[in-house]
Amino acid sequence: MSRVLSLDFLGQAVRVALPYMGAAMGGVLSERAGIVNVALEGTMLVAALAAAWGALSTGSVVVALLSAALAGALVQLVHGTAVVHGKADPIVSGLAINLLALAGTRFLLRALYASSSNSPTIPGQSSSLLRDPASWVVVAVVVATTWTMTRSRFGLRIRAVGEHPEAAASVGVSVPRTQLLAVAAAGVAAGLAGAWLALDQRQFSSKMSGGRGYIALAILVLSGHRPGRAAGIALAFGAAEALELVVQETAKVPHQLVQTLPYVVTLAALVVFGARRRTTAHG
Amino acid sequence: MKAWSVHLGLLVAVAALALPAGRRTRATAATGGLRVGLVFDVGGLGDKSFNDAAYAGLLRGEKEAGAEIEMLEPSGAADREEALRLFAARGFDLVIGVGFIFSRDIDGVARAYPSVRFACVDYSPPFDGTAIPGNVTGLAFREEEGAFLVGAAAALTSKSGHVGFVGGMDIPLIHKFDAGYRAGVAAVCPTCTVHGTYAGTTPEAFRDPAKGKTIALSQISGGVDVIFHASGSTGHGVFEAAKQHPSVLAIGVDADQWNEAPGKVLTSMTKQADVAVFEAIRATKERRLSSGITVLGLAEGGVDWVHDGPHATLLTAPVVERVEALRREIVAKKRVVPSE
C-alpha cells in the first residue's frame, strides 16, 4: 500500500500517461474541428522515427523535437487533405495512414540504419522524468491545447467549424483552412508524444508506439473531447497501469488476472461515463 | 470527387501492404554452395541480444562454411510463415527460424517442402503430441540453468536483498528463466525477495521498451537493486532505467549485453544461439544434420554466464567462486534446477 501512496508511484503514473496525453491533445484539436482522427497511432510512430533520426544525425534534442513535430504535422496534413479536399472516409484514411506508418517506418529504418527493427542507440543517457526536456514539452502541449481551445480565437474557430460548418462559413471563416490548420496542430501534439517515446528510450524500435495512439482515442471519447479532462483521464489510465505493475510484483494473486487491470478500468470507465452521458443527454 | 478519394485511399492502403518487410541479400563468392535462409524473431536485427547472436552465427556460417546467406525480418505473425515459405520455395538447402514462435510455422512449412531442411532455435515440440517432421531440427536450451547462475550472482551482489526479474511475454519459455532465477536466488539467499513482472501476454511484450523501463522503475522504487530481464528488446528499457539509478545494476540475457549500458551490467546469461545456428549450417553442409530436438544446457555449453574478461568487472571474486561452484554441482547432476 505504501508503494501506491508514494511520489515514485505518481511519477510512474505520469510516465505512462505522458504519451497518452500528447496523443489525446492531438485528438482533441482534430476532432473538435470535425475531423475524426484514428491516425494518431501512425503519427506517433513516424514522429518517433523522425525524433531518433534528428537526434542521431545532429545530437541535438531541439532538432529531434522539431523533426518530430514537423513529421507529425506532415502525416496529419495528408490525413486532413484526404478528408477535407478528397472527401475520403476519415476512418479509412486514418487506418491507411497507420498501416503505411507501420510498414514505412520499417522501410526507412532499413534504408537509414540497416535494420528494419531497431535504430542505433542515441548517444548520451536519458534523464529522469523531471529533468527530461521532452516531458516538459508534452506538458506544454497539454497547457497550450487547453488554452487554445478555451481562450484563443483559433480555438473558437475550430469549435465553430466542427460544430456548425455552415454557420462558421457564413461569418467568413474558411472551413477547409481551419480544419487543415487544426490537423497540423494535432500532428504537432501527437508527434511530440512520439518524440517522447523515442527520446526516453534513446532509440527507435519498430512498433514502439505499441497501440498508445488507440488508447488515446479511448481517452478522447471518455473526455468528451475536452483537453483538461482528457489529461486527467490519461493520468488515471497511467495510474491503473502503474498499479498493475506494483500488484504483479508484490501480490500473490495470479499475474494473468492482474494484467487485465488496465483493460477492466477502461471498460468500467466506458460503462460509467457512457451511462452518465446518456442520462444527461435525455435530461 | 468521391470516387478518386476512394481510389486514393485504396492506393495508400495497397502501398502500405506492398512495402517489403525488409530483406537483405548478401551475394557471396561461394558458387553453387550451400544456400541458407534465416528468419528473425520479434525483436529483429539490432536487438543486441538473441537475434544478433543468431546473426553472428549466420555470418560465421558464411565465412567458415562458405554458405550463401539471406535473411528476412518479418513485421508480424502473418509474415513469419510467408518468409519461411519464400526461402523453401526458392529451393534453399537450409531454412532457419529464430525463436519459439516459429515452431508451429516450421512444422507446417516443413511438411509442404520435404526436400528442404529446417532448423528452429528455441524450438518447442507440438503440444498435441503430433510427430515432429523428419526434416526439422529443433534446438532448445535449458535456460533455467543459466538463469539459476545469474540469480545466485544477483542475490550475492544485491545490497538491499531485493532483486528483480522482468519477463517479456507470459509464456512457458519465459517461465523457465523466471523459475531458474528464483531458484538461484533462493539457493544463496533464502531471505532475499524476488520482484517478478511480465510485460504482457502477446508477442508485442518482447518489443515494448517503454513498458520495460516503466516496469524496471517500478521495481527500483520497491527497493530492487539488481534486475535480470528475459524480454527481448523490451529489456532495452530496463538498461535505460538502470543507467538513471547509480546503485542499480542490470543483468543481460541471451547474449553478452554489456554494451547496452557499459558499467551497469553485472553479467549476462548467455545462450549460444550463434553456436546453434552455425552448427546447424555446418552439419547441413556435411550432410549430418540430425532430426528431432537437441537440448543444450550448462553441461553441453549451450548456456553460460559472463564471468571473466572486461565485461565481468562488476562481479567480485567471491561471487564468481560461489556461482562457479554451483555450476559444477549442476553439471555433475548433484543439483536439479526447476524449469517452472
What does B206-237 look like in DSSP terms, one character per residue? GS-HHHHHHHHHHHHHTT--EEEEE-GGGHHH
- Which chain B residues are within 8 Å of A248, Cβ to Cβ? 196-198
Nearest to B44 among A95, A102, A116 (CB): A116
Q: Of A27-36, A98-107, B34-43, which gets the smallest average pLDDT? A: B34-43
CB atoms B75 and A249 under 8 Å? no
Q: Of A51-65, B9-23, B149-163, which gets the smallest average pLDDT? A: B9-23
Residue A203 lies in a domain: yes
CA B170, CA B230: separation in Å to the nearest integer?
A: 11
Region B286-309: what's the mean pLDDT?
90
Name the phi and psi angles at B40, rounded to 5: -80, 165
For the segment B169-199, what is each residue's pLDDT rounded down to a tens digit? Answer: 988 889 999 999 999 999 999 999 999 999 9
Residue A179 lies in a domain: yes
CA A57, CA B12: separation in Å to the nearest integer?
A: 29
Which among A49, A157, A191, A183 has a CA at the least distance from the CA of A109? A49
Query: 3-state DSSP call for residue B145?
Result: helix
CB atoms A125 and B12 under 8 Å? no
The shortest C-alpha distance from B214 to chain A (Å) reads 7
- Which chain B residues are within 8 Å of A255, Cβ to Cβ? 170, 196-198
Letter string b/e over residues B130-146, b meaning 16 or more CB atoms within 10 A of that residue's CB = eebbebbbbbbbbbbbb
Three-state SS string over A144-212 comes to: HHHHHHHHCHHHHHHHHHHHCHHHHHHCCCCHHHHHHHHHHHHHHHHHHHHHHHHHHHCCCECCCCCCH
- B243 contacts A126 by C-beta, under 8 angstroms: yes
Residues near B129 by Cβ (< 8 Å), separated by ≥ 6? none
More confident call, B203 vs A2 = B203
pLDDT band at B32; cut points 50, 70, 90: low
Q: C-alpha angle with apex A126: A8 to B248, nearest 5 degrees?
A: 60
ipTM reported for the complex surpasses 0.95: no
Assess whether pLDDT exceeds 70 at residue B17.
no
Rounded CA Rg of chain B: 21
For the segment A58-96, what is each residue's pLDDT rounded down to a tens digit? Answer: 999 999 999 999 999 999 999 999 999 999 999 999 999
Q: How many domains does chain A have?
A: 1
The reported pLDDT for the residue numbered B15 is: 46
CA A127, CA B200: separation in Å to the nearest integer?
A: 26
Residue A228 lies in a domain: yes
CA A137, CA A199: separation in Å to the nearest integer?
A: 12
CB atoms B13 and A95 under 8 Å? yes
pLDDT band at A1; cut points 50, 70, 90: low
Could you report how far apart the first and last alpha carbons of chain A are, in Å?
Answer: 40
The reported pLDDT for the residue numbered A278 is: 58
Query: 3-state DSSP call for residue A19?
Result: helix
Residue A106 lies in a domain: yes
B277 burial class (0-12, 13-18, 19+ CB within 10 angstroms)? buried
The pLDDT mean for chain A works out to 90
Query: Which residue out of A112, A131, A206, A261 would a mutagenesis test of the B interface target, given it has the greatest number of B Cβ atoms within 10 Å?
Result: A206
Residue recorded with cell 504519451: A19
The reported pLDDT for the residue numbered B43 is: 74
In terms of CA atoms, which chain A residue is nearest residue B203? A210
- By the CB < 8 Å criterion, does B45 face chain A? yes
Query: Percentage of chain A surpassing pLDDT 90?
Result: 70
CA B147, CA B273: separation in Å to the nearest integer?
A: 16
- Which chain A residues are within 8 Å of B17, Cβ to Cβ? 99, 103
More confident call, A79 vs A2 = A79
Q: Can you give the length of chain A in residues?
A: 283
Residue recorded with cell 538513471: B244
CA B117, CA A182: separation in Å to the nearest integer?
A: 56
For the segment B76-125, what is each residue's pLDDT rounded down to a tens digit? Answer: 777 889 999 999 999 999 999 998 888 889 999 999 999 999 999 999 88
CA B212, CA B235: separation in Å to the nearest integer?
A: 6
CA B212, CA B219: separation in Å to the nearest integer?
A: 11
Domains of chain B, residue spans: 32-141+273-296, 143-271+307-331
The class (CATH top level) of B32-141+273-296 is alpha beta
Nearest to A203 among B22, B236, B243 (CB): B236
CB atoms A116 and B5 under 8 Å? no
Residues near B331 by Cβ (< 8 Å), separated by ≥ 6? B298, B299
Nearest to A88 among B5, B17, B201 (CB): B5
The pLDDT mean for chain B works out to 88
The shortest C-alpha distance from A283 to chain B (Å) reads 39
Assess whether pLDDT exceeds 90 at residue A105.
yes
The shortest C-alpha distance from B20 to chain A (Å) reads 7
pLDDT band at A131; cut points 50, 70, 90: confident
Residue A2 lies in a domain: no
The reported pLDDT for the residue numbered B22 is: 41
Query: 3-state DSSP call for residue B172?
Result: helix
Reported pTM = 0.85
Architecture of domain B143-271+307-331 in this structure = 3-Layer(aba) Sandwich (3.40)
Assess whether pLDDT exceeds 50 at residue B18.
no
Domain, as residue range, for A235: 7-282
For the segment A144-181, what is each residue's pLDDT rounded down to a tens digit? Answer: 999 999 999 999 999 999 999 999 999 999 999 999 99
pLDDT band at B144; cut points 50, 70, 90: very high
Residues near A184 by Cβ (< 8 Å), separated by ≥ 6? A73, A76, A77, A80
Query: 3-state DSSP call for residue B39?
Result: strand
Q: C-alpha angle with apex B82: B76 to B85, nearest 5 degrees?
A: 145
The reported pLDDT for the residue numbered B336 is: 92
For the segment B200-216, what is each residue's pLDDT rounded down to a tens digit? Answer: 888 888 888 999 999 99
CATH number reported for the structural domain that contains residue A187 in this entry: 1.10.3470
Query: Which residue out of B98, B198, B204, B221 would a mutagenesis test of the A interface target, given it has the greatest number of A Cβ atoms within 10 Å?
Result: B221
In terms of CA atoms, which chain B residue is nearest residue A16? B214
Region A234-263: what's the mean pLDDT?
82
Region A244-259: what's the mean pLDDT?
78
Query: Which residue out of B1, B98, B182, B197 would a mutagenesis test of the A interface target, given it has the greatest number of A Cβ atoms within 10 Å?
Result: B197
Amino acid at B201: T
